[in-house]
């Protein structure tokens, strides 16, 4: 069987499950058991998980036992924290959930946070904010910290100032496919330290991370909302305006389509870490373009940064498609308007374009495996389960300005589903280095419920082979 085929494992026996339960402090549940659906619950409801068994880890020892249990039976291992980026249904896999391991520790003197694998950004932001500090955090406060770090982590607020979240990870605790616990830093296990920061979940289960925090003395953020009739004027002006912003300022733009097909709201997001007067002056040209339906931009606390994107706070069933754009000229703006603007007739959902640049284009002090560094624009489209065709059309329309290589956290389910496509997303040299690491630490590819790196030590896999399909 190819490492990329859907697993068709036999059912686990009651004796096996009972034996595992005796070794763990957390719950072990099978399909049909009370609590199974809750244990497998994800934030993105579009791809419900269907593993062979779900293990609710409460300690590192639980994680190690779960990994050894899977390895002894050659079962794939899936890891779940919050489920924002669900890649496939994990059929036949051993699912390890980390939500109970959510401790957060902040050292305000050293400017460091230490978090367990199940912690969310809301916890870090709240705790660090008490000392005027912040991490390079996600747009949504419900995103898991560790998964965000492993994929790279592009912060819509601190990213242009400080780079990717992975650039500031100082240490990780990792359980590899043999069940061993490894302390990974730039000095101890330097190659793993490189690969974990950007290689997503391909190398094992990260049970905790330690990372740097930054002082945030002033924070100004919010959104300008315009009626859809102004979409063309706003988009064309925004794409020129945003490229001149200093690094301490960030912006993105979104078309939000409500339930009525004709109703589109243009949402310009803006944040600044500098003085309010400078932020007001920078934003003035956009405010002068058209009357805003709503204007929420104001000085606020960093813990209120979720006001910037207004991501859903409750689980949603959205399909997503993404693209990394090399450039966004006037022709690209017109193409985006044609496929997602007020006259496109598409279904309810949203399309957003994030302006990157700044420190996101810089190489970090300690190199890592984050791909797509230097990408100038990130496109994200989302909609209901019926929106797949229009989301594919969105990505296809912007293809002339797109590139394959991109941040792993920007890959949606249904994207990069073959070896060749994953290689293209990482770039060949980076992929080969990760494949060597994978071959040393997970030669049987147990950690394959992800955008998978094929282990270099196994028999070469055809470039058209697929990892476990979404069913």
**Distances, alpha carbon 268 to alpha carbons 36, 66, 174, 220, 252, in Å:** 41, 45, 39, 14, 6
Look up residue 229 and give its DSSP letter: G
Looking at residue 260, what is its pLDDT?
58
CA distance 132 to 125: 10
Looking at residue 259, what is its pLDDT?
65
CA distance 269 to 252: 5
DSSP H stretches of helix in 271-319: 276-287
205 conformational bin, left if phi > 0, alpha if psi -120 to 50, beta if neither: beta
User: What letters, b where the CB count within 10 A reaches 16 and e where it falls short, cover 222-261?
Assistant: bbbbbbbebbbebbebbbebbeebebbbbbbbbbbbeeee
Look up residue 306 and give its DSSP letter: G
Domains of the chain (ranges, CATH numbers): 220-410 (3.40.462.20)
What are the average pLDDT values for consecutive 10-residue runs of the chain, which has 471 residues?
A: 42 90 96 96 92 98 98 97 91 97 99 98 97 96 97 96 98 98 98 98 98 95 96 98 98 86 88 95 98 96 90 89 98 97 85 98 98 96 90 97 96 92 98 98 97 78 42 35
CA distance 223 to 457: 50
CA distance 209 to 408: 18
Would you give the end-to-end CA distance of the chain in angstroms? Answer: 18
Nearest to 231 by CA among 346, 337, 380: 337
Looking at residue 275, what is its pLDDT?
93
CA distance 60 to 133: 28
Nearest to 302 by CA among 210, 214, 220: 220
Are 184 and 368 spatial neighbours (Cβ–Cβ below 8 Å)? Answer: no
Query: Which pair of tokens denotes residue 313?
Result: 């706070």
Q: Which residues contact 103 (CB under 8 A, 6 or more apart)?
A: 115, 116, 119
CA distance 51 to 59: 21
Query: Which pair of tokens denotes residue 437?
Result: 């690491």
Q: How many CA atoms lie within 13 A of 233 on its CB side?
A: 13
CA distance 235 to 123: 35
Looking at residue 118, what is its pLDDT?
98
Q: Which residues contact 280 (CB under 8 A, 6 or more apart)?
A: none
Residue 463, SS3 per DSSP: coil
Looking at residue 124, what is its pLDDT?
98
Sequential DSSP letters for 343-372: TS-PPSEEEEEEE--GGGGSPPSS------
Q: Which residues contact 352 (CB under 8 A, 6 or more apart)?
A: 252, 253, 254, 255, 309, 379, 380, 381
Looking at residue 448, what is its pLDDT?
96
Q: What φ, ψ does residue 220 adopt, rounded to 5°?
A: -135, 120
Number of continuous H segments (helices) and E segments (strands) in the chain: 13, 20
Angle at Cα 133 formed by Cα 130 and Cα 136, nearest 5°? 130
């Amino acid at each position: 069987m190819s490492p990329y085929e859907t697993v068709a494992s036999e059912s686990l026996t009651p004796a096996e499950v009972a034996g595992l339960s005796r070794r763990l402090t957390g719950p072990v549940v099978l399909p049909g058991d009370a609590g199974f659906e809750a244990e497998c619950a994800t934030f993105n409801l579009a791809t419900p998980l269907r593993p062979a068994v779900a293990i609710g880890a409460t300690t590192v020892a639980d994680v190690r036992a779960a990994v050894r249990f899977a390895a002894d039976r050659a079962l794939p291992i899936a890891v779940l924290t919050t489920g924002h980026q669900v890649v496939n249904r994990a059929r036949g896999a051993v699912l390890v959930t980390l939500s109970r391991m959510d401790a957060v520790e902040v050292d305000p003197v050293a400017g460091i946070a230490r978090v367990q694998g199940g912690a969310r950004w809301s916890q870090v932001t709240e705790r660090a904010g008490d000392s005027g500090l912040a991490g390079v955090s996600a747009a949504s406060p419900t995103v898991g910290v560790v998964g965000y770090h492993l994929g790279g982590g592009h912060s819509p607020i601190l990213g242009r100032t400080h780079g990717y979240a992975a650039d500031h990870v100082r240490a990780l605790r990792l359980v590899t496919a043999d069940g061993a616990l490894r302390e990974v830093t730039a000095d101890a296990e330097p190659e793993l330290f490189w690969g974990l920061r950007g290689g997503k979940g391909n190398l094992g289960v990260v049970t905790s991370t330690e990372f740097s925090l930054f002082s945030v003395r002033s924070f100004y953020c919010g959104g300008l909302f315009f009626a859809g009739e102004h979409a063309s004027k706003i988009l064309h002006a925004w794409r020129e305006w945003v490229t001149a912003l200093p690094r301490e300022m960030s912006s993105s733009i979104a078309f939000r389509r409500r339930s009525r097909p004709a109703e589109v709201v243009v949402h310009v997001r803006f944040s600044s870490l500098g003085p309010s007067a400078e932020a007001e002056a920078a934003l003035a040209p956009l405010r002068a373009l058209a009357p805003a339906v709503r204007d929420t931009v104001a000085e606020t606390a960093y813990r209120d940064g979720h006001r910037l994107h207004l991501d859903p706070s409750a689980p949603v069933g959205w399909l997503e498609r993404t693209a990394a754009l090399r450039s966004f000229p006037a022709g690209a703006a017109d193409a985006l308007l044609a496929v997602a603007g007020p006259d496109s007739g598409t279904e309810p959902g949203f399309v957003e374009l994030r302006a990157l640049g700044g420190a996101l284009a810089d190489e970090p002090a300690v190199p890592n495996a984050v791909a797509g560094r230097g990408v100038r624009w990130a496109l994200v489209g989302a909609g209901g389960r019926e929106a797949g065709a229009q989301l594919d059309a969105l990505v296809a329309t912007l293809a002339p300005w797109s590139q394959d290589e991109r941040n792993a956290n920007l890959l949606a389910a249904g994207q990069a589903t073959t070896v060749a496509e994953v290689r293209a997303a990482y770039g060949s040299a980076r992929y080969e280095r990760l494949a060597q690491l994978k071959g040393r630490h997970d030669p049987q590819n147990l950690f394959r419920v992800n955008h998978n790196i094929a282990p270099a030590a196994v028999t070469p896999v055809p470039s058209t082979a697929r990892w476990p399909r979404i069913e």
